[in-house]
Amino acid sequence: MDAIECIKTRMSIRKFKSEPVPKEVLLEVINIAKWSPSYKNSQPWEAVILSGDKKEALSNMLIGLLENGTKPCPDLPTPESWPAAEAARIDHLFKMRSAATGIDMNDPENLIKAKKANFSFYGAPHAIYLFQDASLTPWSLFDLGLFAQSLMLSAHANGLGTVPQAFATDYAQDIKKFLSIPETKRLVLGISIGYPDMESPVNAFRTDRVQTDEIVKWI
C-alpha cells in the first residue's frame, strides 16, 4: 500500500474481530510510528498497550464509573463550544450518521450507549493509550498528534483497523492509576486496534471532507 492510498483509505473502525494481533505486528506498528517528526526531535510520546483480562477489567471499571454517574475529568478538557465553521461540520456529521444508522447522537441516551461502546473498545482485542509529561507545552501535544496519525496509518498498512477515542480518556485519573501511569503524565488519547470487521454495517459509514477551497487560501 503506497502512502497516498494509505491516507485516503484509512477510516475509523467501530467493530473489530476478536482475533488478537500478534505482538510482533503491534511492535512493528509502533516501530514505524516512532519515526514521526517532533519539535527538536524531543519525541514526547509514550504508550501503553492493553490486551486480554487487563483490557476487560479496565472496560468494566470505566463502564462502572459511567453507570454510577461519575463526572468525567479528562486531562484534556472537553471543548465547550466551537467556531461556526467547525460547529457546522460537526452538525453535518451527526446528521449524516443519523441518516446512515438511524441513531441520533444528540439524544442523551445514545450518547451513553456511545460511551459504553468506547469503553468496550468496540470489541477490539487491544487498546492503546497515548500519554506524555504534563509539563510539556502545546507543541508537544501537536507532536503526539503526529505520532497518533503515524500509528494509525502504520496499523492500516499492516492490515489492522483503529479508531482514535477521546471518550476513552474521560476518567483520566482512574485510568492512570489502573495502568500505573504517574500522575505527572498527561493522558491524551485512547486508540482501539485490531483486525476490522468490515462485514459489520457500522463500518460501512464513512465521513466526507470539505471542499479544498474552504480551507486553503492562494496568495
Q: What is the pLDDT of residue 137?
A: 96
Domains and CATH numbers, the chain: 3-78+120-206 (3.40.109.10)
CA dist 104 and 102 (Å) reads 7
Q: What is the pLDDT of residue 99?
A: 82
CA dist 46 and 3 (Å) reads 24
Over the chain, what is the mean pLDDT?
96
Q: Which of 144, 146, 135, 123 lies closest to 46, judged by CA? A: 144
127 beta partners:
50, 192
Q: Please tell me the pTM assigned to this model.
A: 0.95
Question: Looking at the chain, how many residues does it have?
Answer: 219
DSSP state of 166: S
Q: What is the pLDDT of residue 211?
A: 96
Q: Does the pLDDT value for residue 125 go beyond 90? A: yes
Q: What is the pLDDT of residue 101?
A: 79
Tens digit of each residue's pLDDT (9 = 90 or more) over 70-95: 999 999 999 999 999 999 999 999 88
Q: Give the largest CA-CA distance in the chain.
A: 56
Q: What is the pLDDT of residue 126?
A: 98
Q: Does the pLDDT value for residue 53 go beyond 80? A: yes
Give me the helices (H) in 132-178, please: 138-157, 172-178
Contacts (Cβ under 8 Å, ≥6 apart) of 75:
134, 169, 172, 186, 187, 188
Average pLDDT over residues 56-63: 98
